[in-house]
Structure 1
Amino acid sequence: GFLVLNEKAGLTSPLYSSRPYREFERQFYLARPYDTVSGRQQFYIDHEVFQRLGATLPTARESLAQAKYPLQLYSPHTRWGIHSTWRSNKYMLRQQRGVPTAWMNPEEARRRRITDGDRVRVYSDIGEFQAMAKIAPGVRPGTLMTDHAWEPQQFRGRKGLNAPIAGLLSPLELAGKWGHLQFGAVWDGNQLAHETTVDVEKVNA
């Protein structure tokens, strides 16, 4: 069974054995307002920074990717850990290849004469890292995937997944003093995710 250490430690409500973890009890059952200006779930934000950047409503933007690098880099969650927890655990490493991998579409790999298990170099103008090629038909053409949260020491030269990524911070993350947009202990600015393009080549040992 499960050991419950704190019945009041739920994210949006106390913990109940018969209810979901995120059930929003405060809003749905106790009728307490959200921390937004309106007290409701809302999409429109009339903060001056959002207005200046044309972002008062969620809006699609053109990609920032560099055209000269043909592969869009993605970093999905790992299946063999929770973020970096257990990423270097020997038992979890046995469930996979045990080293950082770069998942590639078969056609993209064929064009570059890369085969499954080859060591490859993933690079952009910003930087590079090396990983083992993993050929997978489920990877879309024009993309390359590397599971997130590999530890730096698991990469050659300690150059990891973030090396070819500029890591731009959206100015919207810095807007505050507006309803739920407040700085706090758990504040964490998001990167502009998946805006990096790279290329990949086989490393000749």
Structure 2
Amino acid sequence: DYPNTYARFISLGPMLEKHGNGGKGVNWNTETEVKFLGELNRKHTKEGVNKGRPRIESAIDACEVILSLAPETNGEVAVKAWEALSVITGKEHAHLAKPKEDEKIRFRDLQAQPRKIISSPTWSGLEDEHVSYNAGYTNVHELIPWRTVTGRQQFYQDHEWMRDFGEEQCVYKPPVNLKTVKPLLGKKSNGNKELVLNWITPHQKWGIHSTYSDNLLMLTLSRGGPIVWIGEIDAKKGGIVDNDWIEVFNVNGAIAARAVVSQRVPEGMSMMYHAQERIINMPGAETTKTRGGMHNSVTRTVMKPTHMIGGYAQQAYGFNYYGTVGCNRDEFVIVRKMDKIDWLEEETNQAVHEEMIK
């Protein structure tokens, strides 16, 4: 039913009334919330597949849908969610949300000021005035089984695939040589020493996921543009001092960024935090003659077979939790101090770029 894709995209679907909402194996009724959203966001009135369904036409509509359906922002839903978990565990858990059952956070509330969310069985910690959030808290204090095949914390994974790959216990495996460095090593010299380092791309230092660092507030927290961290020993080997412009490259791509030289980075490793986009203070890379990249410019996705296990308790597919994620951090790069900083502001650079992508 492709022609109706957009109509469905801007409306709340009927399955929430039929099957309810849920997560992590817990499910609860949402008829009350769907009815409320029809009144709050109004309903579609034109003939079509979404007639009579609550609207999700604006960003605020979408926010209200999430806030109304989520146990973290709707106390009544939180109580229903804990009660649903109680059916599974045989213990009473709703007391964790009862004090906030009447709280319902709306978009305008958050626009005015931040609000503390409500404890939800989706998570294993509590949003509480008496205890700070700590993963596994409810498993210990509410006697809720861990989400594993045994219901306990597991260090041994007895699945056949895990045994076949030698990963039934925690195991160290050295970085894999993906053969992305040797073809360029010493081939595009700029006169500065080239270092070969392991490339790590951790979650960013001052935010997460959608908190991009290229806005005026975030830029004040560091160097005002893209940065790559390297250790003091490697920096000395490469003649790099803190805040120098450096280039990071391999056959996959190139990055131009300032160096953060730190004793906290071990020898042989370099890293770049997530969510540094190619927007602010981004010069051209010397190897490509085009604007420098971001943390995944020098990586390629490699599928990990043990992430393809399914239907086995904690080793079962869950969007954004367990599945065939791209293992794109097992990489090596060439790092060197840049010789010339080109901001690509000349008109001729457009012709160079077009030539590069032919």
TM-score over 0.5 (shorter chain): yes
2:317 aligned with 1:183, yes or no?
A: yes
Q: Is 1:74–1:194's contact at 8 Å kept on the other side of the alignment?
A: yes
Question: Any stretches of 5+ residues in structure 2 without a counterpart?
Answer: 1-112, 183-194, 284-290, 341-358
> What is the CA–CA distance in structure 2 between the aligned matches of 1:13 and 1:80, rounded to whole Å?
22
**Residues 13 and 70 (structure 1), Cα distance of their counterparts in 2 relative to 1, 3 Å cut:** closer
Task: Give CA deviations for 1:59-113 in whole Å, capped at 9, x if unaligned.
Answer: 2223314685731222344333334415122122123211111223344334333
1:131: how far off? Answer: 0.8
Alignment of 1:96 with 2:222, yes or no, is: yes
Q: What does residue 159 of structure 2 align with?
A: 47
| TM score, norm. by length of structure 1 | 0.81
For residue 149 of structure 2, what is the aligned residue in structure 1? Answer: 37
Gaps of 5+ in 1: none
Indicate which of 199, 208, 213 corresponds to 1:82.
208
Instruction: Call closer, same or farther: CA 1:2–1:116 in 2, change over 3 Å.
Output: closer
Partner of 1:11: 123
The separation in 2 between residues aligned to 1:60 and 1:22, in whole angstroms, is 27
TM-fit CA distance, 1:186: 3.6
Tell me the distance in 2 between the aligned counterparts of 1:93 and 1:188. Answer: 33
Report the CA distance shift for 1:136/1:5 in structure 2 as closer, same or farther (over 3 A): closer
Matched-pair contact (CA < 8 Å) for 1:80–1:86? no
Q: Which moved more, 1:129-138 or 1:21-30?
A: 21-30
Larger Rg: 2
The offset of 1:162, in angstroms, is: 0.9
Secondary structure of the residue aligned to 1:122 is strand
Partner SS, residue 85 of structure 1: coil
Give distance in 2, aligned partners of 1:122 and 1:178. 40
What secondary structure is seen at the aligned counterpart in 2 of 1:131?
A: strand
Aligned residue pairs total 205
**Which of 261, 266, 269 is matched with 1:143 structurally?**
269
Counterpart of 2:303, as a letter, is L
1:204 pairs with 336, 339, 350, which one? 339
**Given that residues 120 and 133 in structure 1 are in contact (C-alpha distance below 8 angstroms), is that contact kept between their aligned partners in structure 2?**
yes
> What's 1:195 paired with?
330
Q: Is the 8 A contact 1:127 1:164 kept in 2?
A: yes
CA 1:28–1:159 in 2, change beyond 3 Å: closer, same or farther? same
Relative distance call for 1:9 and 1:93 in structure 2 (3 A) is farther
* Aligned-partner SS, 1:71: strand
Q: Calculate percent identity across the aligned residue pairs.
A: 26
Q: Quick one: which of 102, 116, 141 aligns to 2:242?
A: 116
SS in structure 1 at match of 2:132: coil
What is the one-letter code of the residue matched to 2:252? I
RMSD: 3.0
Aligned to 1:128: 254
- For the residues of structure 1 that align with 2:122 and 2:173, how far apart are their CA atoms? 35
Q: Describe the shift of the 1:88–1:135 C-alpha distance in structure 2 as closer, same or farther (beyond 3 A).
A: same
**Offset, 1:194:** 4.4
> In 2 relative to 1, CA 22–141 (structure 1 residues): closer, same or farther, beyond 3 Å?
closer
Q: Which moved more, 1:180-189 or 1:52-61?
A: 180-189
| Whole-angstrom CA distance in 2 between matches of 1:112 and 1:143 | 13
Distance 1:160 1:181 in 2: 31
| Residue 302 (structure 2) aligns with | 168
Instruction: Classify 1:58/1:19 alpha carbon distance in 2 versus 1 (closer, same or farther; 3 Å).
Output: same
AA partner of residue 238 (structure 2): R
